[in-house]
Structure 1
Amino acid sequence: MLSILIPTYNYNVYPLAKELAKQALSAGINFELICIDDGSKSVLNKKNSKINNIENCVFKELENNIGRSSIRNLLAKESKYNDLLFVDAGNFPESENFINNYIKIKNYDVISGGMFPLKRSPKKPYKLRWLYTKLRERKNLCSSNFLIKKEVMLKFPFDHTIKEYGYEDVLFFNQLIENNISILKIKNPVIHNADDDAESFVEKTEMAITNLMVLLNHKKLKKTVSSLSIKFYFLKKAGLTKPVAYMFNFLKPLLRKNFNSTYPSIFLFDFYRLGYMCLINQKK
């Protein structure tokens, strides 16, 4: 018995819901699929409403946006089965056995299937997002694709105070690990559509780093939570955050130009993230 849960915002999620329902029906299991749009009021929801015509599937629209964490908590509360499969909009199962690969595994509280980029890189200005998923994001636990027991999710929900993009999944999985919840990583990925252009992705990244600083300052995350935070606190201890922030401000136009190019550099993007973290540290 499986609850398939899809949080979405301003995205045509009908093809994803159709594929997941098809696989669940083929697996011969009792299932439900719930998709909730987080108050986007998008015209795309006309397409998403077709989800209601698929067997055992429901699409709902929230009147107001409640945020990336709260929407996942709401989906968990509205589910009726004990196994919850979260798949984010903007992703698609790599395998036709995606559902089967999850349900055949027993005795784990959480199973993470991972996220891969498209096999072929998109053209500029979409390549930066694709490159980041390929070289950085795919290695981490992420909330785009994971199975969790409902009682675990309700006991250790996403932090509802995080409304914007970024690090809500890091905090969530860290909380599970700190409470000795068993997490199994398997190769059962979703493919990310890489639909963020460079400017949109940089804006999201800046938002995520702002979230990270808040979580670190409130001691909700440890200083060693990521390679980015480790580097930042090394610079801070050495008294180098101010010159790095100055260098970041000076180079920012050139960096943004590179990110929008045919050959964006992931190493320059790593510096951008670190430089931006140093910059907002100076402003606080």
Structure 2
Amino acid sequence: MLSILIPTFNYNIVPLVEEIFEQVSKCDIVFEILVYDDGSNSPLNTKNKTINLIENCCFKELPNNIGRSAIRNLLGTNAKYETLLFIDAGTFPKEKDFIENYISINNKELIIGGMTFGEEPVKKPYKLRWLYTKKRETNKGLHSSNFLIKKSIFQLNLFNESLKKYGCEDVLFFDNLAKSNVKILKINNPVIHEADDDANTFVKKTEFAIENLIQLIDEGKLSISHYKISKLYMQLSPLGLDKFIYLLFKWLKPLLLKNFNSNYPSILLFDFYRLGYYCFLKNKK
């Protein structure tokens, strides 16, 4: 028995649901697919409501936006079955046996399927997000966009709802699971990220994530050594180099943003932007 849980916001989720439904229907198991829209009030939901006509599927619009953590917690709480599969909107299974690959693995507490990039390169201003997924996220790290977990474990390790902005909620979630000695299995069963954020949107989301990271470190909820960017800051700060990075970041920011919106964005420059923004926030205090 499997509950497939999809949080969404202002997105046409029908193609993903139809693909998941087709795959899981071939697996001869009891299942449900729950899709919750996080208060987007989007015209796309007229189309999304047709999901309710599909057997064992439910689409629900929340009246207000409750945030990325809270909507995942709500989906997990409302799920009927003990095995939960979370899949993000804006992704799509790479393989036709995506669901089968998960259910063929028995008695595992937490399985991470991973994320990959679309094989067809995209044009500006979406190239930066596509390239970041390709270079920094494919087969690396732990992502909440595609994972299977037992409901009994999930209920004891919910997403932290104090984070209202985008970013780092998955870092904290998986860190807490590791501290609780939950065994994590990573497999090659990815979803394709559809690179639907333009460069300016992705930069803003990245800034939110860095703000959340600093908040979590300051509150003692994450170790400063947990993230590469915070570890690097810790090495630079005693030497006063963080101030130099911050000033260089301020001076170069317009040029960096121009590069990110081009057809040839640099991931190395984006790495510098992230570090520069981190130094900017730390020196602003």
TM range (shorter): over 0.9
Q: Considering only aligned residues, what root-mean-square deviation do their CA atoms show, in Å?
A: 0.7
Counterpart residue number, 2:73? 73
- What SS does the aligned partner of 1:282 have? helix
What are the within-5 Å matches in structure 2 for residues 91-102 of structure 1? 91-102=91-102
The reply on whether 1:55 has 2:55 as its aligned counterpart is yes
The reply on whether 1:33 has 2:20 as its aligned counterpart is no
What are the within-5 Å matches in structure 2 for residues 143-182 of structure 1? 143-182=144-183
Counterpart residue number, 1:84? 84
Measure the CA separation in 2 of the matches of 1:233 and 1:217: 13
Superposed displacement of residue 227, structure 1: 1.0
- What SS does the aligned partner of 2:166 have? coil
1:101-145 deviation digits (Å, cap 9, x = unpaired):
000001210000000010121011111001111111221110000
Measure the CA separation in 2 of the matches of 1:269 and 1:263: 12
Paired AA for residue 178 in structure 1: K
- What SS does the aligned partner of 1:187 have? coil
Counterpart residue number, 1:270? 271
Superposed displacement of residue 237, structure 1: 2.3
Q: Where does the alignment leave 5 or more consecutive residues of structure 2 unmatched?
A: none
- What SS does the aligned partner of 2:72 have? helix
Q: Where does the alignment leave 5 or more consecutive residues of structure 1 unmatched?
A: none
Superposed displacement of residue 41, structure 1: 0.5
- What SS does the aligned partner of 1:148 have? strand
Please report the TM-score for the alignment, with normalisation by the length of structure 1. Answer: 0.99
Measure the CA separation in 2 of the matches of 1:125 and 1:249: 22
- The alignment of Structure 1 onto Structure 2 pairs a total of residues equal to 284
Please report the TM-score for the alignment, with normalisation by the length of structure 2. Answer: 0.98
Measure the CA separation in 1 of the matches of 2:127 and 2:233: 26
Superposed displacement of residue 244, structure 1: 1.0
1:50-86 deviation digits (Å, cap 9, x = unpaired):
1101110000000011100000000000001000000
- What SS does the aligned partner of 1:33 have? strand
- What SS does the aligned partner of 1:76 have? helix
Measure the CA separation in 1 of the matches of 2:281 and 2:236: 14
- What SS does the aligned partner of 1:136 have? helix
Measure the CA separation in 2 of the matches of 1:171 and 1:223: 12
- What SS does the aligned partner of 2:221 have? coil
What are the within-5 Å matches in structure 2 for residues 251-262 of structure 1? 251-262=252-263
Measure the CA separation in 2 of the matches of 1:16 and 1:237: 49
Paired AA for residue 5 in structure 1: L
Q: State, as a whole percentage, how many aligned pairs show the same letter.
A: 57
Structure 1's consecutive aligned runs of 4 or more residues displaced over 3 angstroms after TM superposition are none
Counterpart residue number, 2:3? 3
